[in-house]
Structure 1
């Protein structure tokens, strides 16, 4: 392999000049830079980032610990993070936590062993008790994404409660009084906040508060399918359902299909987390769409700021999602039936 000495000799410059060209640490005359770049091309020179990292005791890699393989939403978020970091000259080490605290701790420990410059983490239900303190104790910059904890670190998360309130208000406006909620994994702030939004509107609008309407979807398609099959096979089945993440929406749709229930003819459906393909479903899904690009950009900027030495107090940023109003809520049918729309309190 060609070395910096080889490049310097061929270009007729000092090794320090080659270093300045590589690292943009000092202005280099255009003709000199051209000679150095030409020499690197002729020698097929590649910078030894391993040696550079050992010398500086840090790498240009960022660990991303997230449950990416079991949740399509997280896959989209990882893609946005990878693009943002790549544009800034950083590589990504991805570790799938499976949303299991023990495995999450192992994944994070391995990333710390590889001297990542910083870490982005979508914390599991108990990360605040173990994984997050583990990272902070190592002094490695940390930003939590999508989910937040009480930890003393930067966090970039979506607005959860208010968008769900809007979904349930919308169903109530269409005349539904018995509305089910398919809920995520216990212990996650996203589950708690979204369920709080559902319950707040149920109470405010005088809707059916039957505890059996809160269905345990555990943030998984299979668990949501089982819960919906059981609840909607009953004679007093709900007339509408709000699903609180996209993996559970898939399970809910499968269950309704197995029961022979049409959306929205038999059951109105709205969901938190939009799909890339949500407008291809028939009917198209009314869904809350998160701004994953903004979330990724803000998380990466905060993290790299910490890597560069920013010492401002930790921040909690809320990214506001948008409502994609389509047909699965049944608005078109409601209009055709001249349904009365009660005024919102």
Structure 2
């Protein structure tokens, strides 16, 4: 900075004002400093600034499976919002493994990130206790498992209930449900919505029509095969996420069943290219990018107002009404 000041003919303090944006500088002076920066090849020392300001201008992001298109889109939203606020991202994938999640979060805390955006694993208790003890601002995304933190996620219950309602309106009385792993908040909420939809239609809940699909393609296929093997198999399926619905379609094709002629199929989550499926898939599309951008907005609010009560936000998914439910290509009625 001293060399930049010498070349620009200004004080070191003026260079600091320009580099850090801490004080207004005349346009002519700013231009001289920026030209001197370019000539000298000066690079801002973020570590030194962090020691002086107790801020690294960095955000840690931990998701449970970057291979899931849902989290890839969420991360895109986080990246855009962080870029607008001038923050750098440090990213890690926990692979939905609690021990790895704990280790990568500890690593981010050691790097003194200003805050963390976390999509929790299936068993995040140790990690969340660590974050609470560190008092590091944290926003939970998707799985809203701990009221000590700010949280943002999609609306799950009413959306799933509306899928069941739509299927009952098309004449289905044996409606199966493929869920994610037991114990997850999203699994519980979507299962609650499924049961609410049945109840509103006056249909009993039948546990034999519910199968766990592990939230992945092989799990979705295996769960569908189990449901097809019950004595009175379902005539319609509600699948709990975008990966499992791919597995479900493979199982139905393997059983030589047509969609929706032999069995109707709908999904909570909209896989990439779902409009190109045969037939196109009826699904609720989550507001993935908006979830990521909202998580950063909540985190910045928490940094600015550290003593306010934690809050939760729910964003509504968008219905993509197509033909796998048994409706015509251009349905005139909504769900």
Partner deviation per Cα, 1:101-128 (whole Å, 9 max, x = no partner): 222111211111111110011112322x
Partner deviation per Cα, 1:286-343 (whole Å, 9 max, x = no partner): 111111232222211110122234422111111111211111111129x9xxxxx9xx
What corresponds to 1:226 in structure 2? 222
Which among 257, 261, 265 is matched to residue 261 of structure 2? 265
For the pair 1:18 / 2:15, whether they are aligned, the reply is yes
For the pair 1:306 / 2:302, whether they are aligned, the reply is yes
For the pair 1:150 / 2:165, whether they are aligned, the reply is no
Which among 100, 105, 122 is matched to residue 103 of structure 1? 100
Q: Distance in 1 between matches of 2:303 and 2:31?
A: 31
- 8 Å CA contact 2:71–2:288 kept in 1: the answer is no
For the pair 1:56 / 2:53, whether they are aligned, the reply is yes
SS in 2 for 1:311: coil
How far apart are residue 52 of structure 1 and its match? 1.6
- 8 Å CA contact 1:125–1:186 kept in 2: the answer is no
How far apart are residue 233 of structure 1 and its match? 4.3
- 8 Å CA contact 2:140–2:151 kept in 1: the answer is yes
How far apart are residue 75 of structure 1 and its match? 1.2
Pairwise CA RMSD of aligned residues?
1.8
Q: Which runs of 5+ in 1 are unaligned?
A: 336-340
What corresponds to 2:325 in structure 1? 329
Q: Which runs of 5+ in 2 are unaligned?
A: none
SS in 1 for 2:238: strand
What corresponds to 1:217 in structure 2? 213
Of 82-91 and 225-234, more deviation after overlay is shown by 225-234
Counterparts of residues 105-120 of structure 1 (less than 5 Å): 105-120=102-117
What corresponds to 1:244 in structure 2? 240
- 8 Å CA contact 1:68–1:78 kept in 2: the answer is no
- 8 Å CA contact 2:211–2:226 kept in 1: the answer is no
Which among 189, 192, 195 is matched to residue 196 of structure 1? 192
Q: Distance in 1 between matches of 2:205 and 2:304?
A: 51
How far apart are residue 48 of structure 1 and its match? 1.4
What corresponds to 1:338 in structure 2? none
- 8 Å CA contact 1:154–1:315 kept in 2: the answer is yes
Q: Distance in 1 between matches of 2:229 and 2:328?
A: 26
SS in 1 for 2:85: coil
Q: Distance in 1 between matches of 2:105 and 2:152?
A: 19
Which among 31, 38, 43 is matched to residue 40 of structure 2? 43
Q: Distance in 2 between matches of 1:24 and 1:55?
A: 15
Q: Distance in 2 between matches of 1:309 and 1:318?
A: 21
How far apart are residue 7 of structure 1 and its match? 0.8
Q: Distance in 2 between matches of 1:189 and 1:264?
A: 30
TM-score (normalizing by structure 1): 0.91
- 8 Å CA contact 2:57–2:87 kept in 1: the answer is yes
TM-score (normalizing by structure 2): 0.94
For the pair 1:138 / 2:127, whether they are aligned, the reply is no
**Aligned residue pairs, count:** 332
- 8 Å CA contact 1:177–1:208 kept in 2: the answer is no
Q: Distance in 1 between matches of 2:23 and 2:55?
A: 21
How far apart are residue 239 of structure 1 and its match? 0.9
